[in-house]
Structure 1
Amino acid sequence: MDEHNRVSCSLVMGKARVTPSKPFTIPRLELTAAVTSVRVSNFLAKELQYEDISHTYWTDSMVTLGYITNEARRFHIFVANRVQLIRDFTSPEQWRHIATKDNPADIASRGVSAKELNQSTLWWKGPTFLSTAATLIPETNHVDFQPDDPEVKKVTVLVTKVKPGSHAAILTRLEYFSSWHKAKRAIAVCLRFKKKLVNRSVKLPKVCEDLKSLKEVIKISYIPVDVDEMRRAEQEIIKLTQQQAFAKELQILHNTEFSSTTTGGDSRKKHSLKKTSNLFRLDPYLDESEILRVGGRIKRANLPRDITHPVLLPKKMSQV
């Protein structure tokens, strides 16, 4: 453009690529053509050495414009790599849409005779609208594409929900152990590993994404369990068993303890077990570990608590 706002257009360089023998979709071929345009532009800018030149890129593919101007969706590797290359050297504001009938690149891709090429104004001078003032060239806004585009990566959202009765699954797994001692030892190791994770004393490696890797971490950090850990494991199994067998009774006793603490008095009259409950005559209570035990006057006897106040267990569990 000169001082009189007159624009002159002329062909400097043209380049066409042969379609690969491997089948490609039309959108991928159009995107490859856009990459070629960027490379040619960089080559000319380096060789001509003009200063303060603005570059504008034209394509007749709305899908390609959608890929380039996209800011939200993720693509598969082929499209993602080429879009990244285009965005490294250009900005989306530099890209414009051109109608297919005004696109001189189609002459190279579709082929014409030498006579027709020599007389083609579109090939040598470009489309007529380029001869107008640059201010009249419309800008291309964000171009969206179909959400079911095959090049867009499908986003999968997984929701994990813990069921209220999840402790039953743990108890079922304990049935696979051949002895009570082995079951307690397994729970003791899990409790130790849980404590280390809570305290962040174990750093999981990046490869720890499956159960096998998790087992390897447990194996590496394993030290034989001691008596205290076995005792806590036994208490944990008992608590899980009671939560499954005496859920209603535990809830009532929890409410009783909470009300007694907050009101400073005895609330057993307000939150007492129903007479239809199997535990009503045993006068159950929760100890400091929240384990359900048998109550009654025998607590005055000078005997260990495990004898005076045995742990309440269902019939099947008490036979073990």
Structure 2
Amino acid sequence: MKAALSRPETRWAYVFVLPWVVGLLLFQLGPMIASLVLSFTDYDLISPPRFTGLDNYATMAQDPKVIRAIGNTLFYTVLHVPLSIGLALGLALILNRITGRAAGVFRTIFYLPSMTPHVAVGVLFLFLLNGQVGMVNQFLALFGVQGPQWTSDPDWMLAGIVLMSLWNLGSTTIILFAALRNVPRELSEAAMIDGASTWQRFRSITLPMIGGALFFVVIVNTIASLQMFDQVYTMYFGNTQAQNSSGDAALFYVIYLFQQAFQYLHMGYASALAWVLFLVIAIITVIQVKVGNRLVYYEAEERSR
């Protein structure tokens, strides 16, 4: 062990890793520990923190806005995750059928929306979803459908936000496309010779073989959905007039956390909100991992048996 540590390459490895370790301690673990301590205090950035025990957590249980924010966030997550993965899988299947030079062009086209800044997406869809002049309602009018007031009707705001979120499917599409490229073609060809239909091949061969990638994007999209913030804040909370018109219909959990921290300077309460979100995400992720380990097919594990 001492001989290994004395090697020049080993010492240089530690030198290169050191900045990351320092950054982790100073900018991640340090602030997390500080926020955990602050969650048990009353702190407004001006006066010294005052220890209040579990008062912040007790207040959360009785705060109607927390209940509303949790409901909106969960509603959005339940709709967004399956819809986004389903559409991304459809796009990935289309990409998998395109060959030649056009393949690279379409991959770029499908991924480009992911490069758009989230604030710009929020502003863009604020116009697209406008009830009077928005392009979405104009498109629906071509089929004789009168579109709703996506941005002002509380009953349709969350649906509009879900629709907006489907713009950003590039990363999920590319991940699933890469998984589809790794599905052995001979398996599908053998099933075709045996008379299996397209749906049977997709259900029995393709889906199990890309199960690991699907499992990954479910976890990642769930975590991202529970932390939804920037697009919605840009649309409904970026100015006082929009905030008054939306009320709590578009209030997401992280937006309420942001308001408590930086608008009302309730840093202790905001820290408690953040830690509850962290625990909820951790619990949901653990459940997903437990379920996924039972349902997902891993080719490497199968070969090792």
TM-score, length basis structure 2: 0.21
RCO greater where, 1 or 2, for CA within 8 Å and sep 6 or more? Answer: 2
Scaled by the length of structure 1, the TM-score of the pair is 0.20
Q: Which has the higher helix share?
A: 2
> Which of 1 and 2 has greater Rg?
1
